[in-house]
Chain A
């Protein structure tokens, strides 16, 4: 029933790669920011909170445009990264990773922050009296107890990255084989006369991937939650 062209498969493969890489690359930053927002109080905290949430409320096109004028090849940050580290974002799949990561970041931070806030601090006190310094305490108590939220956050970020369209197409355009994800491919097909059937094929693929991701995350979150609650 599925009859995908090689171009379609490329889009599917690219979508999965961009979503997976952006989720994994974002994760350490997500955990760090979530921890800071959950535990620390400092001047400018509400500003940081607002900036982190900005991609959630801004039109995706605006986020994409801001990325373009910041990380484009001629833009200051983009030129710096390209010249010193060889990292190029503009019109590359890495740029799609950046766009997806930025768009998914607030959802990831939110989920992880909630789970860190729910941790019983008295367990951390107990670990401290047993000799755990701050780093060990974080690694052996805080992080494992926050795991259900971390999994939920990764799932949300992955789903957001799969669905991301506006910021990506604005920042890195819609180049088959480089930045054309499932969403962008479907959009392109719907703009072509007679492309409906092919678009439908990709729609089915998108539904299957999303369902599988949801079920996998539910499975892992339940296992992690059972662990955390000592069952």
Chain B
């Protein structure tokens, strides 16, 4: 039985800014929701292994990704956590096909044309395979980035503001793919965004992050401005 239970409890001092986040998510799509500069990206970087917490524990089901007390810190390359970056970060010197195939190859998995074809079809990127990233539009680039993360067979998928670099028309173009991804891929997702409308369409659970701290966990009712605490109110919530 797969639970896909992600437990995050981390502390990290970043200059004068402190991240102190504790939350859990089980399967499906969970949003990390909050204003820009709240520390959401730092939290997903710690989950991915790109940033080391000062203290705490990150675990996915029985697999401990990080535990300061137990001195466990799995390197990013061994976590199998797929990461879709805000800016895509496709490898400029590789074709789209090789970008998509990169994680499968690095993970040592045998070629799997059926899965490859399925993901390519899911994201509608078949016509791009022999091109290079330099000439792709923003929307195409993000779809390829999603496909690349998906094809590494991740245990967990992190999407950090995947639509932020796109104009509103392009955003509308990507959202249906994200919904299909959530419904078909069966990979738990952490979806980072500051956009309530966007989060509302994709995530069912919401973790609200403000000033480096988790200030609420629950359903999409957390997205409505009415329950957002006023300025200065965040610190009074434990």
Contacts and interface: CB of A to CB of B under 8 A. Distances in A.
B103 A229 contact: no
A192 to B, nearest CB: 53
B49 to A, nearest CB: 7
Interface stretch (B2-10, B130-138, B200-208): B130-138
Contact of A126 (B75, B80, B89, B107): B89
A127 interface: yes
A133 B134 contact: no
Interface string A189-231: 0000000000000000000000000000000000000011111
Contacts of B48: 129
A145 interface: yes
Interface in B35-62: 48-50
Interface in A103-148: 122-123, 125-134, 136-137, 140-141, 144-145
Interface string B73-90: 001111111110101011
Contact of A128 (B75, B82, B107, B135): B75
Interface of A is mostly: helix
Interface residues of B, number: 30
A145 B80 contact: no
B106 interface: yes
Bin chain A's interface residue count. 20 to 34
A43 to B, nearest CB: 23
A126 B85 CA distance: 8
Interface of B: 48-50, 75-83, 85, 87, 89-93, 102-103, 106-107, 132-135, 148-149, 152
Interface of A: 122-123, 125-134, 136-137, 140-141, 144-145, 227-231
